[in-house]
Amino acid sequence: MLRKKWWLIATALVVLAGVSYFVLAGESSSVNIPVTVRKGDFRSVITSPGELQAENTTYISAPSDLMSNDIYEEIKIQDMIPEGTIVKEGDYVATLDPAVVSKKISDFQTQLTSASTTLSQTALDTALTLREARNNMLNLEFQVEQKRIALELSKFEPKATIRQAEIDYEKAQRDITEAKQNYTIKQRQAEAKMIQAANSLSRFQRIISDLDDLRSRFRLTANKQGLLVYIPDRMSGGKKKAGSVVRSWDPKVAMVPDLSSMISKTYINEVDISKIKKSQTVDIGLDAFPEVKLTGVVMNVAGIGENRPGSNAKVFEVNIMLDRVDTILRPGMTTSNRILESKVANQLMIPIEAVYAEKNTSFVYLKKGGTIIKQEVKLGKSNEEEVIVLKGLQENDQIYLNEVASAKDDDIKKI
């Protein structure tokens, strides 16, 4: 019985050792992957995501005179035809909700009625005031005539009586002169009041007419033939469609892009922007169609940075002109842009993940004969995938991407 137990234990140990050997061997073979040091053209590339846009785009917008008509409220898009519809010039595209404008028209019509009443009242008041002034002048003219007659009749009276008659006549003449001057002033006042009331009435009539004209243009049509494309809504984060809103400072509703010439718009961070130059070549990929490979050139680089949503860092807009267009391309598609900063021929290169550092010394795990050593390397330029080796390795050397445990604690072999 005891001998049988020992045989079972021994068998279990052998099986466990075998399993451990194959597992560890499998791990070692899968982890310590050798790669070959190669020589070729090194490409320094700056990669950045972007978005396709037509170089030339015609926008369909709400009327441009919203702000001049004091329309600052949001205007709802009541209806819009489906995105991707082929439209001709003059075809119906969308309708804006006229509720905001209609309310303003109603408010101004109330003010128009009040202004019309004011004009009528002003006309009546003016007529009454001037009639009273004319009657007063007529009475004063009678008084002047009476005083003149009294003066003539007093010529046989004592000197004091004659003097009093002269004074009364002169006063009556002054009164009629003053009344005529006052009448002229009242006429001017009446004219000014009538002009003011008429101008107020005319202003409200003009405002209502302008608002009526504005409301009549809330039915939007295509201004050229092409493919209708919805545009991004910066407030909601989606696209403008039926139910979205436009504003006086953001009146665009949709666009009809010219698909014969397209650009990829991207944003480069402030660290790399100095490396981007006009006419640099670019490899362009499409997230929607990974198999499609396009090329282009840098068309222009923004001179002033900006802050993009979700980031505090400054970025600079870069527009890349596509060398050719394809029928599958649509504005708004996400692109990957690999901008070629520089190209250096006949360089020794290794994968960047094969490089390790220890006390400011760069090294790789180099296969040397039957052993693996830590070999110091002097490095040059790098991109996202590879780095140039200036010293320490030769073409076709075998190095390892992953850390080699057996050589981890060894000293670094100097160049």
Provide the residue range defining the domain that includes 302. 45-50+261-344
Mean local confidence (pLDDT), 303-328: 89
pLDDT of residue 31: 56
21, part of any domain: no
Percent of the chain surpassing pLDDT 70:
92
pTM over 0.85, yes/no: no
Pair (208, 106) in one structural domain:
yes
Average pLDDT over all residues of the chain: 89
Q: Which amino acid is at 224?
A: K
Strand (E) or helix (H) holding 414:
none
One domain for residues 192 and 280: no
Same domain, 290 and 303: yes
First CA to last CA across the chain, in angstroms? 65
pLDDT of residue 322: 97
Tokens of 389: 């080796």
Q: What percent of the chain has pLDDT over 90?
A: 78
Find out whether 265 and 50 touch, Cβ atoms under 8 Å: yes
Q: Give the helix ranges, DSSP H, for 32-85.
A: none
CA distance 301 to 47: 15
Give me the pLDDT at residue 327, please.
85
CATH number at residue 397: 2.40.420.20
d(CA 128, CA 210): 36
Residue tagged 């008429």 (tokens): 198
pLDDT at residue 18 is higher than 50: no
pLDDT digits (tens, 9 = 90+) for 93-122: 999 999 999 999 999 999 999 999 999 999
pLDDT higher than threshold 60 for residue 11: no
Q: In what order do the strands lie in the sheet with 245-246?
A: 219-221, 92-96, 75-80, 245-246
Provide the residue count of the chain: 415
Q: Is the pLDDT of residue 195 over 50?
A: yes
Task: Say whether 102 sits in a helix, a strand or coil.
Answer: helix
Do 276 and 182 have their domain in common? no
pLDDT value of position 123: 94
Spatial neighbors of 224 by CB under 8 A, at least 6 apart, are 58, 89, 256
158 with 108, same domain: the answer is yes
Q: Do residues 108 and 164 share a domain? A: yes
pLDDT band at residue 173 under the 50/70/90 scheme: very high
Give residue 238's pLDDT.
87
Is there a single domain that holds both residue 84 and residue 223? yes
Q: What are φ and ψ of residue 255, in 5° steps?
A: -140, 155
Q: Worst-scoring range by mean pLDDT, 17-31, 108-122, 331-345? A: 17-31
Cα–Cα distance for residue pair 80/230, rounded to 1 Å: 10
- Please compute the mean of the pLDDT values over residues 361-386 and round it to a whole number: 93
pLDDT at 370: 86
Q: How far apart are CA 277 and CA 84, in angstroms?
A: 35
Number of domains in the chain: 4
Give the whole-angstrom CA distance, residue 150 versus residue 378. Answer: 131
Same domain, 92 and 224: yes
The pLDDT of 395-406, averaged and rounded, is 94
Task: Give the residue from 71, 69, 62 showing the smallest Cα distance to 96.
Answer: 62
**Domain of residue 224, CATH code:** 2.40.50
Is the pLDDT score of 28 beyond 60?
Answer: no
Q: What is the mean pLDDT of residues 194-215?
A: 95
Is residue 180 predicted with pLDDT exceeding 90?
A: yes
